[in-house]
C-alpha cells in the first residue's frame, strides 16, 4: 500500500509513516493563479492500495476540494483501491436539519467522496456517529478515547467526575467513566447562535469534584467557556478537558487560558500551531 498526505496533514502522516516503517508517497499539490487545485502523483500508483490522509480542518473547503482531486487523480492512474483517512471530518456538525430550509452538509461531503470513487473511509470521533450511514462503502470509525483514558489514568486525578458537555457526548462520557471507574454528569445546553452555548442543566454531582470534560471539537472555544462557567457555578474544581479535534478558529488557544481549566488534552487530528501553551497537551493519533 501507499500513503499520501494532503496539505492539511503532513506532520501526522510523517508520524503514521514512522509507525508503519515506510515513507510517505510523493505527490505534488499546487495551486494555479486562479486558486484552482493541481495534483500530480510523482510515482506510480498503478494497482496500489492508496491511502490518502487529509483532515478537513481550516481552510475546510480547500482541503475538501484538494482531497476530491487527489482521489480523482489516483483513480485515473489505476490505483486498485482508494482509502481516505479523514482524521477530522469537517461539516459533521451539519448532519441534520435543525430548522426548515437548511442543508445537510455532511451528506453533501459523503456524496462527493462517493462520486469521485472512494472505496473506504477511515475517520475519528465523528461529531455524530450516524454519519457512518451516509456512506454505502466501508467506514472505519476510530476513537481517541483509549489515548485519553491512558493519559488520565497516569494523572491519578483525585475525586474526579467525567462530564458530558451535552447530550451528544453521553455515550462517550459513560464509557470513559466506566474505564476510569468514576461517576459521571451530563450538561444540557442551548445554542443562542453559532459557536455560542449556555448551560441550562447539570445532571449529576460535580461539587468539589474535578471534572474531566470529554468533547469532540474545540472550535472557537465558546462552548467550553460556558461549560466551565456552569461547572464553577455548581462548585466544581478546576477541570481537565479532553477534545479530539482542535479546530481552533480565531483566538481559541488564548480563550483556553481560562480560570477553571487546569489542562486541555487534544490530538493531532487537526494541525495546530506550535509551540502550544504548557497547559495544552497534544497526543498523537498516528498509532
Catalytic residues: 189
Using CB under 6 A as the binding rule, the residues of this chain from 259 to 278 that contact ligand R5P are none
Q: Tell me whether residue 267 is annotated as binding.
A: no
Residue 109: CB atoms within 10 Å: 24
- 76 assigned to a ligand binding site: no
- Closest to ligand R5P by CB, 66 or 216: 216
CB neighbours (10 Å) of residue 180? 19
Give 48 or 162: the residue with its C-beta nearer to ligand R5P: 162
Decide whether 63 or 189 has the Cβ nearer to ligand R5P: 189
Query: To the nearest whole angstrom, how small is the minimum distance from the Cβ of residue 92 to ligand R5P?
Result: 9
**In 3D, which of 160, 122, 124, 140 has the Cα closest to residue 243?**
124
Q: Is 221 annotated as a binding residue?
A: yes
Listed as own residue / partner, the contacts of 21-29 with beta carbons closer than 8 Å and 24 or more positions apart are 25/50, 27/70, 29/66, 29/70
| Site track for ligand R5P across 212-241, x = CB under 6 A | ---xxxxxxxxxx-----------------
> Is 210 annotated as a binding-site member?
no
Q: Which of 93, 120, 155, 175 binds ligand R5P (CB under 6 A)?
A: 93
Q: Of 73, 62, 87, give the one whose Cα is nearest residue 2.
A: 73
What does the per-residue mask of binding to ligand R5P show for 167-186, with x meaning CB under 6 A?
Answer: -x------------------
Nearer to ligand R5P, 51 or 91 (CB): 91
Q: In what order do the strands lie in the sheet with 2-5?
A: 2-5, 49-53, 81-86, 120-124, 139-142
CB of 189 to ligand R5P, least distance (A): 8
Q: What is the DSSP string of 142-181?
A: E-SHHHHHHHHHHHT-SSEEEEESSGGGHHHHHHHHHHHT
For the window 114-153, what string marks contact with ligand R5P as x by the rule CB under 6 A?
A: -------------x--------------------------
Query: According to the annotation, is 220 in a ligand binding site?
Result: yes
Q: Is 132 annotated as a binding residue?
A: no
H helices of the chain, where?
Answer: 10-20, 60-76, 105-116, 145-155, 170-180, 222-233, 252-255
94 Cβ contact partners less than 8 Å away, ≥ 6 residues apart:
102, 103, 104, 105, 106
Q: Which residues are annotated as a binding site for D-ribose 5-phosphate?
A: 191, 219-223
Q: Which residues are annotated as a binding site for ATP?
A: 93-94
Q: Which residues are annotated as a binding site for Mg(2+)?
A: 127, 166
Query: Rule CB under 6 A: which residues touch ligand R5P?
Result: 93, 127, 166, 168, 195, 215-224
Amino acid at each position: 500500500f501507499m500513503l499520501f498526505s494532503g496539505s492539511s496533514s503532513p506532520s501526522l502522516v510523517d508520524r503514521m509513516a514512522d509507525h508503519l516503517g515506510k515513507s510517505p508517497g510523493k505527490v505534488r499539490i499546487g495551486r494555479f493563479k486562479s486558486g484552482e487545485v493541481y495534483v500530480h502523483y510523482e510515482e506510480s500508483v498503478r494497482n496500489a492500495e492508496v491511502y490518502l490522509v487529509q483532515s478537513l480542518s481550516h481552510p475546510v473547503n480547500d482541503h475538501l476540494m484538494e482531497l476530491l482531486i487527489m482521489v480523482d487523480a489516483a483513480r485515473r492512474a489505476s490505483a486498485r483501491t482508494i482509502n481516505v483517512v479523514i482524521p477530522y471530518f469537517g461539516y459533521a456538525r451539519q448532519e441534520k436539519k435543525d430548522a426548515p430550509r437548511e442543508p445537510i452538509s455532511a451528506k453533501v461531503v459523503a456524496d462527493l467522496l462517493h462520486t469521485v470513487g472512494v472505496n473506504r473511509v477511515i475517520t475519528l470521533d465523528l461529531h455524530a456517529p450516524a454519519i457512518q450511514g451516509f456512506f454505502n462503502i466501508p467506514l472505519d470509525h476510530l476513537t481517541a478515547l483509549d489515548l485519553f483514558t491512558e493519559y488520565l489514568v497516569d494523572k491519578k486525578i483525585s475525586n474526579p467526575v467525567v462530564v458530558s458537555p451535552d447530550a451528544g457526548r453521553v455515550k462517550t462520557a459513560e464509557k470513559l467513566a466506566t474505564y476510569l471507574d468514576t461517576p459521571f454528569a451530563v450538561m444540557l445546553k442551548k445554542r443562542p447562535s453559532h459557536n455560542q452555548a449556555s448551560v441550562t442543566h447539570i445532571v449529576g454531582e460535580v461539587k468539589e469534584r474535578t471534572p474531566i470534560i470529554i468533547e469532540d471539537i474545540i472550535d472557537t472555544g465558546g462552548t467550553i467557556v460556558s461549560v466551565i462557567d456552569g461547572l464553577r457555578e455548581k462548585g466544581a474544581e478546576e477541570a481537565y478537558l479532553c477534545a479530539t479535534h482542535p479546530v481552533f478558529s480565531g483566538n481559541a488557544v488564548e480563550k483556553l487560558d481560562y480560570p477553571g481549566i487546569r489542562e486541555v488534552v487534544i490530538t493531532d487530528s487537526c494541525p495546530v500551531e506550535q509551540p502550544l501553551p504548557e497547559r495544552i497537551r497534544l497526543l498523537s493519533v498516528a498509532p
